[in-house]
């Protein structure tokens, strides 16, 4: 696929609806996604249990995101007058979930598994919407990888972009080169389903 050119219309529309927000996440990718459209982002890093609990991938990722937004709402940093977003993202393939790789070898194993195959990316967001309170949303997108050679994988591992990334790649940087196509919202793959957040928090 081609490199994603930012900001796109969704990012710009988001910044018009929400010039500033609280992001209850330490993810630099999520922060960059919002800032690319012009939104001012204040970061709150929640201290929560990210153990995978639930009977389905959607339930697991939703439970984690819910815990993060709850941590913000119950904190001294909570501001009832500003939109807050917490999020979690997991990759689902071949009947099991892929999270963030533990090390380079783990990242190599993940990329080999993704090579030439379809993966489902599940991103859940816990929202605090002024006047509405807490709202949970979940979105999915399908990502199809190219068939990767050993050289492709090692070259990508050398970028260190896999560190801290669900599925061991970052779409916004050079990870797009690994991807043949996406079916769904590309911001869901990055970790914040902006189209669904807009629909839920701005257009309703």
Active site residues: 88
pLDDT tens per residue across span 67-91 = 999 999 999 999 999 999 999 999 9
Q: What is the DSSP letter of 91?
A: E
Q: The pTM is what?
A: 0.93
How many Cβ atoms are within 10 Å of 28's Cβ, its own excluded?
12
pLDDT tens per residue across span 93-135 = 988 888 889 999 999 999 999 999 999 999 999 999 999 999 9
Confidence of residue 144 (pLDDT cuts 50, 70, 90): very high
CATH topology of domain 9-201: Maf protein (3.90.950)
Token pair in block for residue 110: 């993940």
Strand, helix or coil at 84? strand
Which helix (H) or strand (E) segment is 37 a member of? none
Confidence of residue 13 (pLDDT cuts 50, 70, 90): very high
Confidence of residue 55 (pLDDT cuts 50, 70, 90): confident
């Amino acid at each position: 696929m081609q490199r994603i050119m930012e900001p796109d219309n969704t990012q710009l529309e988001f910044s018009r609806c929400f010039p500033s927000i609280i992001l209850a996440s330490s993810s630099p990718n999520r922060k960059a996604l919002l800032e690319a459209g012009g939104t001012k982002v204040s970061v709150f890093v929640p201290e929560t249990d990210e153990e995978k609990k639930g009977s389905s991938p959607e339930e697991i990722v939703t439970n984690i995101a819910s815990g993060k937004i709850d941590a913000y709402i119950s904190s001294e940093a909570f501001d009832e007058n500003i939109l807050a977003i917490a999020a979690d993202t997991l990759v689902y393939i071949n009947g099991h979930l892929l999270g963030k790789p533990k090390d380079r070898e783990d990242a190599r194993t993940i990329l080999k598994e993704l090579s030439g195959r379809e993966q489902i990316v599940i991103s859940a967001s816990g929202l605090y919407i002024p006047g509405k309170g807490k709202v949970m949303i979940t979105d999915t997108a399908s990502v199809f990888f190219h068939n990767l050679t050993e050289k492709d994988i090692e070259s990508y591992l050398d970028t260190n972009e896999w560190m801290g990334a669900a599925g061991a790649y970052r779409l916004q940087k050079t990870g797009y080169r690994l991807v043949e196509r996406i079916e769904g919202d590309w911001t869901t793959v990055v970790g914040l389903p902006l189209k669904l957040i807009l629909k839920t928090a701005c257009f309703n």
